[in-house]
Amino acid sequence: MNNITDIIIRVFSGAGASSIIFFSTIIFSLPLGLLITFARMSKLKVLSGFAGFLISVLRGTPLMLQLFMWYYGPFYLFRVSLGLNWRLPAIIIGFSINYAAYFAEIFRSGIEGIPVGQYEAASVLGYTNSQTFIKIIFPQMVKRVIPPVTNEIITLIKDTSLAFAITYTEMFTVAKQIAAAKATIIPLLVAGIFYYIFNYIVAFVMGRIEKSFNYYK
């Protein structure tokens, strides 16, 4: 019994590291995703083409590989050794940029789904392009993207375990270490339960946010 409590506490201590990855990724990838959306939707062919290429590479290669690139890249490219302190920044950069690419595509389809009449009504009323975006398009986009963004966020929770690939000690890594040391599967089950609870909370919160937008269709 004591043994299990001990396992739970130790696995849970790894959850802090997972949460850091999770929340940092959310905070950085959402605005970054919006910037990539702007680039992707730009009338400048060079910019939109570059953004399109970036998105396809980020979505078309494994996240684990991207994490390796961010972590080991500086050493192999520039022969700079950033040491273990570089591990967390590399993870956050890797996750944020990868998720930004997914969010960018979600935002773009959210914006493109807004009827052209909204822009035209705004134009005739004299709103500038930026006012139109901020006051009329963006708020409607937010409502439209909540369900697909929720899906991505739930995937992100599970993806945080990929950080073990560059031996960053988050929840999954801890669970694996204990499991190996004590020859038991229980730590992994405990970790699974934590991931599930975390997901449940996130799904609940996102559901609430989605509902709060139900005041209009």
Partner 1 sequence: MSLFEIKNCKKNFDGVPVIKDISFKVDEGEVVAIIGSSGSGKTTLLRICTFLEYMNDGEMTYLDKKVVISENGKAKYIGQKNLSIDALKKNKELIKIKNYFGLVFQNFNLFPHWTVLKNVINAPISVEKRNKDEVIEKAMMYLKKMGIENKVNSYPCELSGGQQQRVAIARALCMEPKIIYFDEPTSALDPELTREVLKVIKELANEKRTMVIVTHEMSFARDVADRVIFVDNGVIVEEGNAKEVISNPKMERTKKFLQKYEE
**If binding is defined by CB under 8 A, does position 128 make contact with partner 1?**
yes
Q: Which stretch, 59-67, 111-119, 184-192, 195-203, contacts partner 1 (CB under 8 A)? A: 111-119
CA–CA gap between residue 88 and residue 21 (Å, rounded): 8
Q: Which lies closer to partner 1 via its Cβ, residue 125 or residue 193?
A: 125
Q: Which stretch, 57-65, 85-93, 135-143, 200-208, contacts partner 1 (CB under 8 A)? A: 135-143
The tokens for 203 are 């799904």
Among the listed residues 124, 181, 183, 208, the single contact to partner 1 using CB under 8 A: 124
Among the listed residues 8, 47, 54, 136, the single contact to partner 1 using CB under 8 A: 136
* Alpha-carbon distances of 76 from 70, 79, 82, 184, rounded to whole Å: 10, 6, 11, 38
* Alpha-carbon distances of 116 from 40, 55, 103, 112, rounded to whole Å: 18, 25, 22, 9
Ramachandran angles phi, psi of 74, nearest 5° = -55, -35
Give least dist CB 15 to partner 1, A: 37
CA–CA gap between residue 146 and residue 141 (Å, rounded): 9
CA–CA gap between residue 31 and residue 188 (Å, rounded): 34
Q: Which stretch, 3-11, 52-60, 103-111, 124-132, contacts partner 1 (CB under 8 A)? A: 124-132
**What is the 3-state composition of the chain as percent helix, strand, coil, each rounded to the nearest 5?**
85, 0, 15
**If binding is defined by CB under 8 A, does position 1 make contact with partner 1?**
no
Sketch the per residue contact string, 7 through 46, with partner 1: x for CB under 8 A, - otherwise. ------------------------------------x---
**Tokens 């134009």 found at:** 123
Which residues of this chain interact with partner 1, rule CB under 8 A? Answer: 43, 115, 117-118, 120-129, 131, 135-136, 139-140, 143, 215-217
